[in-house]
Amino acid sequence: MRDLANVALDTAQQKGASYADIRFVTDRSRNVSVKNGKVESLSNNESQGFGVRVIVNGAWGFSSSSLVTRAEIERVTAEAVQIARASASVFRQPVQLGDPISIQDRYVTPADIDVFSVSLDDQIKILLEADLEMRRVEGIRIANGMISTLKTSKIFASTEGSYIEQELSESGAGIEVYAVNEDGVQKRSYPNAFGGGWETGGFEYVHKLDLPGHARRISEEAIQLLTAPVCPTGVTNLILSSNQVALQVHESCGHPVELDRVMGMEASFAGTSFLTTEKKGNFRYGSDLVNVYADATVPRGLGTFGYDDEGVPAQRTPLILNGIFQDYITDRETAATLGQQSNGTSRADGWNRIPMIRMTNINLEPGNAGSLEDIIAATDEGIFMDTNKSWSIDDKRLNFQFGLEAAWEIKNGKRGQLYRNPAYTGMTPVFWGSCDLIGSRDHWTVWGVPNCGKGEPMQGMHVGHGAAPARFHNIKIFGA
């Protein structure tokens, strides 16, 4: 592939590019899903191609194709140069990438059981066993289960001399049930909603989840929710499950620290950020307990890799320390505008997309409050909410509202009444400022989020969030 890479890099330079890179990407995935005792879908997908990125006259151009031949690479590279020249007709300052980067390396995701080595028969058996358990509980209307396994092969080469090969693998699995009565639909999920749990690594993750072992519990809770009262309205101590803390981190920490958003590059679609550059190093983001890192090196994180799609090594970067905002996540272009080096977060959703700043694993570091049950025991009065059902946040990432699957009243350190349709709302810095307990490392999980959306054309991204259960005081709650 080096020869084909050089076709693009040489062609780009001959046509006037001051910088060029090419990525060859092959994505392969297998998906199994079951629904109400039958296999809903069984699919095998592959997509391959290449993308060429160039800077000509100080402006970007990008073109891509699924046809990987020498002639097509020459055509697409010429097209990228033509596009860059058009970009240069409406631009302000030439793109700067900071110091050149030249790396030759190979990275492979560590895995115990190759994700494609487990037969689909065995995967179907896991899901049908869980399905049977879910539907043993009377009143369940829909039972769903899914397992997905993915492998991505990438080659990155640049005119600065980099040539990096990566073989990434990951898996995801989950189950969910729906129960219905005249008051509405109730849902419970395990280990998380909207796609289940995800990690990089091998199929051992799916085995570890033990989907059948959690099937009956979620069904029983869904049935109980049908007749539970609607969550009351008020202001109280809010305890969140670690999977919801992960999503809270995603929406109200991960997206605001993307430097391209801060600089307005996402303004027309996903929005901007309240976290303007004068806040760097001095803005109080949360209480002293709040420490957040971007860490693309944490084992098994869904946002873990060897190198980003600009060939920058994976890194661990402090974003918030003791509640004070420290730094953004960056790519080469945006970092250079602040006089910094990229902290390696530029990724693309496939060969046909341009890399942009994406979360890696944005982790809320563990505290010392023990387990979820320890946090509940330490709470005289409040509410515990579990597993996300709905999310929304404004275009500067301040006003948010989350709906959850289930909530329990907390009184004198114990779980009490179950509530349906719970929701809470708040403003980002006020909310994180109210964080007064975070669970310990033994109860800290790196949750995979496989559906982060950003950019035009839309790019989906797989990211991770380390989180433990946590408590927040004076939070507005209500029932939907």
Partner 1 sequence: MSEILGRDKVIQLLQDGLSAATADQTEITFGGARKSLTRFANNYIHQNVNESNTSIRVRSVFGRKIGSASTNRLDASAIKETIKMAEQLARLQVEDPDFVSLPGPDANTGELSYPEPDQATYFSDPQLRADGAGAICRKAVANGLIAAGAFETTGVEEAVVNSLGLASYYQGTSSHLNTVVMGDAGSGWGERLSRKVGEIDYEAVAEEAVGKALRSQSPIALDPGEYEVILEEYAVAEMLNYMSYLGFGALSIQEDRSFMELGKQIMSPLVTIYDDGNSPEGIVSPFDAEGVHRRKVTLIDKGVANAVVYDSYTANREIGKHNTGHSSGAQGDVGAIPLNMFIGAGDKTKEEMIKSIKRGLWVTRFHYVNPLVPEKAVLTGMTRDGTFLIENGEITRPVKNFRFTQSAVEALNEVVALSSDRRLLPSFAFGNLVPAIHCRRFTFNSATEF
Query: What residues from 12 to 71 belong to the interface with partner 1 (CB under 8 A)?
Result: 33, 35, 38-49, 59-67
User: Distances from the Cα of 272 to the Cαs of 108, 326, 356, 433, 451, in angstroms?
Assistant: 35, 18, 15, 22, 20
Contacts of residue 302, defined as CB under 8 A and 6 or more positions apart, other chains included, come to 170, 198, 199, 200, 361, 446, 447, 448, 449, 450, 462, 463, 464
Alpha carbon of residue 144 to chain centroid = 22
| Closer residue to partner 1 (CB): 77 or 171 | 77
**Among 5, 7, 76, 296, which residue interacts with partner 1 (rule: CB under 8 A)?**
76
What is the spatial distance between Cα 51 and Cα 65, in angstroms, rounded to a whole number?
7
C-alpha span between 388 and 192 (Å, rounded): 8
Using CB under 8 A as the criterion, what x/- string covers residues 325-354 for binding partner 1? ---------------------------xxx
Q: Considering just the CA atoms, what is the radius of gyration of the chain in Å?
A: 23
Q: What DSSP string describes 26-39?
A: EEEEEEEEEETTEE
Q: In angstroms, how far is CA 373 from the centroid of its own chain?
A: 27
Considering the rule CB under 8 A, would residue 120 count as an interface residue with partner 1? yes
Exposed/middle/buried for residue 240 (C-beta within 10 Å: 0-12, 13-18, 19+): buried
Binding positions for partner 1, 200-259, rule CB under 8 A: none
How many residues belong to the site for partner 1 (CB under 8 A)?
Answer: 81
Q: Identify residues 368-397 at the interface with partner 1 (CB under 8 A).
A: 389-396
- Residue 80 interacting with partner 1 (CB under 8 A): yes
Residues 443-462 that bind partner 1 (CB under 8 A): 456-457
Contact 190, 153 (CB under 8 A): no
Q: Using the rule CB under 8 A, give the single segment among 87-95, 303-311, 360-368, 460-468 that binds partner 1.
A: 87-95
Give, as ranges, the residues between 273 and 302 that touch partner 1 (CB under 8 A).
274
Among 74, 103, 224, 271, binds partner 1 (CB under 8 A): 271
265 binds partner 1 (CB under 8 A): yes
Of 97 and 468, which CB lies nearer to partner 1 in the complex structure? 97
Distance CA(343)–CA(2), nearest Å, equals 26
Is the Cβ of residue 14 or residue 45 nearer to partner 1 in the bound state? 45
Closest CB 373 distance from partner 1, rounded Å = 29
Interface of this chain with partner 1, residues 165 to 204, rule: CB under 8 A: 178, 180, 184-185
